[in-house]
Amino acid sequence: MLQKTSITTRDGVFVNPVIGQKKSGDFVDEVIVKCYETMIKLYYPENRCKLGTLHTQMKYAGPKEAIHHAIMRQNYGCTHIIIGRDHAGVGKFYDPMAAQKIFDDYPELEISPVFFPPFFYCRKCLTYTTPKACPHDNDVKEQISGTALREMIQNGQAPSEFILRPEVAQVILDHPKPFVD
Ligand SMILES: [Zn+2]
């Protein structure tokens, strides 16, 4: 959703997932790459999306890691970087907005952060939206926590198509061990 929204006003998107050591409960690298390959093949116009992997490890350093990620993507030649809620966070350790606020302290960066609030699908608005734009109650919103998503997958259930595209969900469900131990 964030990537597609970004493409609407820019030339294209470079999808550059971190491949390397991660914490328990995160998706394993093979699942990450296969899911992106499936999503790009089925849901992106040709030549609007490039996939390349970034071989390093996640450090879960929240705002500091957001700046590091921005510098690495600046070095790739990217003009913008998407910074979502709680970028590179872990549990409830960081203020979810800290990774966005820290960019005020680094005006010398040549890459511009693009900030997004958390998105959800609203069955009344009939679109993906945010708390700023949608007044409706939680019972008409399709949103799911990482923990709930893991539980569903471990029980062999595919989440709603508003949370995960069915073909991408299938890639995860078909994998014998989609999560890091
Ligand atoms: Zn709504």
User: pLDDT of 21-78, one tens digit each?
Assistant: 998 888 999 999 999 999 999 999 999 999 999 999 999 999 999 999 999 999 999 9
- Taking the centre of ligand 1 as the mean of its atom positions, its distance from the CA of residue 143, in whole angstroms, is 12
> Tell me, what's the pLDDT at 45?
93
Concatenated DSSP letters of 149-181 = HHHHHHTTPPPPTTTS-HHHHHHHHHSS--B--
Q: What is the pLDDT of residues 8-28, one digit of tens each?
A: 989 999 999 999 999 888 899
- Taking the centre of ligand 1 as the mean of its atom positions, its distance from the CA of residue 127, in whole angstroms, is 8
Torsion 91-94-96-102 (CA) sign: negative
HEC per residue, 63-114: HHHHHHHHHHHHHCCCCEEEECCCCCCCCCCCCCCHHHHHHHHCCCCCCEEE
- Residues, beta carbon < 5 Å, ion ligand 1: 122, 124-125, 134, 136
> Tell me, what's the pLDDT at 11?
92
- Inform me whether the pLDDT recorded for 5 exceeds 90: no
- Taking the centre of ligand 1 as the mean of its atom positions, its distance from the CA of residue 121, in whole angstroms, is 8
